[in-house]
């Protein structure tokens, strides 16, 4: 006596900007079984290291993902710099921090919008993306690209930001802060939203940790993991607060991201205050020989670029382990027993970036 409904969720589905698919088995609207399947974006560009010189692979690495493009590029470059023992100029490191944090703002605002959309709050979606345009404007003004910045380079960055622009940027941040304050207040306090998020997709601290959750997904469950604390780039000279929340449900993850918006603007201010003058890049000669696991904090969590060179211009292996990949097992746990209406909310609550995940 079956009372089941099978819903093929995705690959084409309006709530998924990127294709994944889930086979949802429902009883009424209760999800009794969910089997995810990915691979719709697997391009296999990790193998491109065999065809592109390591200096040009930067452009490929940047296009791993359209949302955190800069961080991918920078992490790759930092990994190569580690192998080749290149000392990157201070200013470049600060600029990387600034752009990384702007990437994070961009990503989190984008996510807030999509998240609002997933529970049917269209106006909030529009509001979040309206604010996000401010971040993108800054990005375009300083790098020339809205979403694919293209300023990473081994040995530094490709563009400098003038000090006047930095001053203006700090002033603009106040406006941004104000708008984000308004947005996040609604997010965290509106009861209709809390009704949709509280106690939905809950995952305990232990589960989150042992299932390998990273980034806001882990921090929402109270696991204080933030790779910026390892002090790569210029982060060791900045005060990085780790935002956590203890409930482990969708609202907690939302809270973490909402608060991180402000830590990001704060980090940008710190960096703008401390940034020294000087060159933004050094000349790179030779080829990488050796291996390194470069870990960095992406908006979605811990990103690992494993790079292995053998002394030629072509790397042996580039392996990108993205936060979403490791957040998928916790996601499966979260989805068990939720309602159909919660599925998009929970899926989005880990902020999935499938194009990174599948490379």
Partner 1 sequence: MTYLQKSPWIVHYNASSCNGCDIEILAALTPVFDVERFGIINTGNPKHADILLCTGSVNEQNKVPLKNVYDQIPEPKVVVAIGICASSGGIFRECYNVSGGIDKIIPVDVYVPGCAARPESIIDGVVTALGILEQKRLAMQTEGSPAGTKAGEAR
Partner 2 sequence: MQILDLLLCLILFPLVAALFLLVVRRDSVRSLIVQFAAVAIGIVSLVLLILGFDKGTLIYSVASEPVSLVMFIIEIILAVFILYLGIKFRKSLTVLLILLQAGMLVWFETSLAGNLHIANNLFVDQFSIIMALIIGIIGSLICVYAVGYMETYHNRHKEVRDRRSIFFGILFIFLAAMFGLVFSNNLLWVFFFWEITTICSFLLIGYAETEEATNNSFLALSMNLLGGVAFMAAIIYLVLADSSGILLDLNHLLATGKAFALVPAVLICFAGITKAALMPFSSWLVGAMVAPTPVSALLHSSTMVKAGVYIIVRFAPVLSGTTEGLMIALVGGMTFALASFMAISQNNAKKVLAYSTIANLGLIVACAGVGTYNLMWVAILLIIFHAIAKSLLFLCVGTVENRIGSRNIEDMGGLIVRMPKIAIMMFIGMAGMFLAPFGMVISKWAAIEAFITAPFGLIFIAILAFGGSATVFFWSKWMGKIISVMRDQNVIEDTVRKEKWAVLYILTGLVVVVCLIFPLISSVLIEPFVLNIYGHTTRLAQANLTIMIMMLFLLMIMPFSMLLYGKRAQPPALPYMGGRPMNDSMHFAGSIGISRELVLSNYYLEKTFGEERLFMIGVSLCWGLLLIAGILLLGVIL
Partner 3 sequence: MAFFEMVRTALRTVMQQPVTILYPAQAAKKTPISRGHVMIDESRCISCGTCQRKCPAQAIIISKEAKTWQIDRLRCVVCNSCVDTCPVKCLFMDTQYTAPVTARSVDLIAITYVKPPKPEKKDEPAQ
Which residues of this protein are in contact with partner 1, per CB under 8 A? 11-15, 17-19, 39-45, 47-48, 51, 59-60, 63-67, 69, 110, 113-114, 125-126, 129-130, 132-133, 136, 145-148, 353-355, 358
Partner from partner 1, partner 2, partner 3, none contacting 43, C-beta within 5 to 8 A by type: partner 1
Partner from partner 3, partner 1, partner 2, none contacting 276, C-beta within 5 to 8 A by type: none
Starting at the earlier edge strand, list the strands of the sheet with 289-298. Answer: 289-298, 301-310, 315-321
Interface map 12-51 toward partner 3 (x if CB under 8 A): ----------------------------------------
CA distances from 347 to 128, 210, 333 (A): 19, 19, 11
> Nearer to partner 1 by C-beta: 40 or 209?
40
Partner from partner 1, partner 3, partner 2, none contacting 287, C-beta within 5 to 8 A by type: none
Q: Which of residues 25-64 bind partner 2 (CB under 8 A)?
A: 27-29, 35-37
> Nearer to partner 1 by C-beta: 7 or 15?
15
Beta bridge partners of 306: 293, 319
When binding is defined by CB under 8 A, the residue of 18, 22, 243, 251 that contacts partner 2 is 22
Q: Where are the alpha helices (DSSP H) in the chain?
A: 57-62, 69-84, 90-118, 122-143, 163-189, 191-197, 205-210, 215-219, 250-274, 323-335, 342-349, 354-358
Q: Buried b vs exposed e over 252-282: b needs ≥16 C-beta within 10 Å?
A: bbbbbbbbbbbbbbbbbbbbbeebeeeebbe
Contacting residues for 82 by C-beta, under 8 A, at least 6 apart: 292, 294
Q: Which residue has the tokens 């940027």?
A: 169
Q: Which stretch binds partner 2 (CB under 8 A): 4-12, 210-218, 238-246, 295-303?
A: 4-12
End-to-end CA distance of the chain: 42
Q: How far is the CB of 345 from partner 2 (least distance, A)?
A: 18
Q: Is the dihedral of CA 346, 351, 357, 359 positive or negative?
A: positive
Pairwise CA distance, residues 64 & 71, whole Å: 10
- Interface residues with partner 2 (CB under 8 A)? 1-6, 8-13, 19, 21-23, 27-29, 35-37
- Interface residues with partner 3 (CB under 8 A)? 52, 56, 59-60, 62-63, 121, 123-124, 127, 130, 133, 137, 140-145, 148, 150, 158-159, 182, 185-186, 189-192
């Amino acid at each position: 006596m079956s009372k089941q409904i099978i819903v093929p969720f995705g690959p084409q589905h309006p709530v998924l900007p990127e294709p994944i698919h889930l086979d949802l088995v429902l009883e009424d609207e209760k999800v009794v079984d969910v089997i995810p399947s990915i691979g719709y974006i697997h391009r296999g560009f990790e193998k491109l290291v065999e065809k592109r010189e390591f200096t040009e692979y930067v452009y490929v690495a940047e296009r791993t993902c359209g949302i955190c493009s800069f961080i991918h590029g920078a992490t790759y470059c930092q990994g190569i710099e580690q192998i080749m023992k290149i000392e990157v100029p201070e200013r470049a490191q600060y600029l990387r921090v600034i752009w990384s944090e702007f990437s994070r703002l961009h990503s989190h605002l984008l996510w807030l919008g999509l998240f609002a959309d997933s529970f049917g709050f269209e106006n909030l979606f529009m509001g979040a993306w309206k604010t996000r345009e401010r971040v993108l404007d800054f990005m375009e003004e300083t790098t020339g690209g809205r979403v694919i910045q293209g300023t990473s380079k081994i040995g530094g960055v490709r563009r400098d930001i003038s000090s006047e622009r930095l001053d203006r940027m700090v002033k603009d941040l106040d406006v941004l802060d104000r708008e984000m304050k308004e947005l996040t207040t609604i997010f965290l306090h509106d009861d209709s939203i809390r009704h949709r998020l509280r106690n939905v997709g809950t995952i305990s601290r232990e589960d989150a940790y042992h299932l390998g959750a990273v980034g806001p997904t882990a921090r929402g469950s109270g696991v204080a993991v933030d790779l910026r604390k390892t002090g790569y780039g210029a982060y060791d000279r900045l005060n990085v607060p780790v935002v956590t929340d203890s409930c482990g449900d969708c609202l907690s993850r939302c809270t973490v991201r909402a608060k991180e918006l402000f830590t990001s603007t704060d980090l940008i201010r710190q960096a703008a205050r401390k940034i020294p003058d000087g060159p933004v890049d050094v000349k790179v000669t030779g080829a990488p020989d050796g291996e390194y696991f470069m870990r960095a904090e992406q908006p979605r969590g811990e990103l690992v670029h494993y790079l292995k060179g053998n002394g030629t211009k072509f790397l042996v292996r580039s392996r990108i382990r993205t936060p979403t990949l490791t957040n998928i097992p916790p996601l499966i746990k979260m989805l068990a027993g939720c309602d159909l209406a919660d599925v998009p909310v929970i899926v989005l609550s880990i902020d999935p970036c499938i194009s990174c995940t599948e490379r």
